[in-house]
Amino acid sequence: MQNLIKSDIQDLEAAIDKTEDSKNCLIVKPANKWIEEAKARPVPNMLFSELWFENELCIMYADTNVGKSILAVQIGQSISSGTPIANFKLEASEQRVLYLDFELSDKQFEKRYSDNYKDHYIFHTNFFRAEINPLVDIPKEYKGMEDYLCAELTGIIKKYKAQVLIIDNLTFLQNDNEKAKNALELMKQLKIITKELNVSIMVLAHTPKRDDSKPLSKNDLAGSKMLINFCDSAFAIGFSTEDPSHRYIKQIKQRNTEHLYHTGNIMVCALEKESNFLKFRFLFYDSELNHLRQPTQINLEERDAEMIKLISEGVSNTDIAKKFGLSEGAIRKRKKTLGI
């Protein structure tokens, strides 16, 4: 009986091997064969501590002006040179990095990595940067630049022998429903590329307007319900209310490690420029709650909206002042500014 079962398994595996390269929607193998084949592949190394591993599709997201591009370039330089960022882990040796920059012009990039356009920072020769060519003629079969870019990515990666791809950022694909659809298609394409070319990919993305008194979560990623499903790992950057130059990094999704940098253990960093290189400098681990705006700290916009509502209800200036902890004169002055 055991011989018959063994023979059946061998026949099945032979049949699988013959059809493995076909266009079947599923690749089915015995569980043990999956493990045997996986053994032949190297264990993924850390590229940026436990936040991003080799051959992963990773998303890093943050609000505007938080510094995601700054950190992404810093990570790219670290990987290309094989030199870890202080207090962060890098297990991989130096690799070719291709940075697709959809944010800065070459002059803006120069300013960021120089001392007022002098004493320029020297990047490692493995670090390549690319911009969209505004003069390119897009073939008629493509709907636009985004569609064309998706189709060309594999060829570009092969041409420049890139082992790591950083895309800054996905937001320009997501201004409306059609572009959000293109962003999803790009994410699907990137997932395929990580598997077919053994390339590690990081995509930068934006957060919509959010309540900064609440912890960062996957729901703060624009288009998260679609995009978060296609990545292997994700982390977010937040502003710290303790210091305007401080930022914190929080792990959102992971598959190759346990959840280490959660709400109770974020990584607090200082955003600073050392001579000619703008960068994140690790400070300490902390609870995210210490860096959020306290719910009692109502910002000006929210206060104005509440004030207008109270005025429409006939509440007196004196009572409104008591509610917000202000003087009655301050309320009159604010009403005048608002034209009420």
176-185 pLDDT tens trace:
544 556 667 7
Amino acid at 245: S
Specify the higher pLDDT residue, 243 or 300: 243
Check residues 293 and 66 and name the one with the higher pLDDT. Answer: 66
- What does the pLDDT average to over 81-92? 98
pLDDT tens digits along 27-42: 899 999 988 888 887 7
Regarding whether 166 and 101 lie in a shared domain, the answer is yes
* Domain end among 252, 274, 291: 291
Could you tell me which residues are beta bridge partners of residue 205?
A: 61
* pLDDT value at 266 more than 80: yes
Residue 76 above 60 pLDDT?
yes
pLDDT of amino acid 168: 94
Q: Which residue has the higher pLDDT, 18 or 40?
A: 40
Q: Which two tokens stand for residue 89?
A: 């882990």
Whether 169 contacts 103, CB under 8 Å? yes
User: At 2, is the pLDDT very low, low, confident or very high (cuts 50, 70, 90)?
Assistant: very low
Output the domain CATH number for residue 243.
3.40.50.300
Report pLDDT for 109. Answer: 97
Is there a single domain that holds both residue 241 and residue 150?
Answer: yes
pTM of the predicted model, to two decimals? 0.78
Total number of domains constituting the chain: 3
In a domain, 101, yes or no: yes
Mean pLDDT of 69-75: 98
Helices and strands (DSSP H and E) totals, the chain? 10, 11
Please say whether the beta carbons of 228 and 253 come within 8 A.
Answer: yes
DSSP state of 172: G
205 pLDDT above the threshold of 80: yes
- Mark whether 189 and 286 lie in a shared domain: yes
Q: Are residues 308 and 287 in the same domain?
A: no
Q: For residue 11, give its domain range.
A: 1-15+28-40
246 and 329: one domain? no
Residues 254 and 328 in one domain: no
Is 120 a domain residue?
yes
Amino acid 4: pLDDT:
42
Q: At what angle do helices 328-338 and 317-324 cross, to 10 degrees?
A: 100
Summarised one tens digit per residue, pLDDT across range 309-335 is 888 888 998 888 888 777 787 888 788
Q: What is the pLDDT of residue 336?
A: 81
Mean pLDDT to the nearest integer, 48-64: 96
> What pLDDT band is residue 21 in, cutting at 50, 70 and 90?
low
Is residue 52 pLDDT above 80, yes or no?
A: yes
Instruction: Let me know if residue 252 belongs to a domain.
Output: yes
Residues 6 and 100 grouped into a single domain: no
Express each pLDDT in 208-232 by its tens digit: 888 888 899 998 987 666 788 889 9
**Predicted local distance difference test score (pLDDT) of residue 327:** 77
Sequence-ordered list of residues with C-beta below 8 angstroms from that of 5, at least 6 positions apart, any chain: none
| Residue 176 covered by a domain | yes
The DSSP-derived string for 144-205 is SHHHHHHHHHHHHHHHTT-SEEEEE-GGGG-SSHHHHHHHHHHHHHHHHHHHHH--EEEEEE
Pairwise CA distance, residues 286 & 246, whole Å: 12
Separation between Cα atoms, residue 15 and residue 266, nearest integer Å: 50
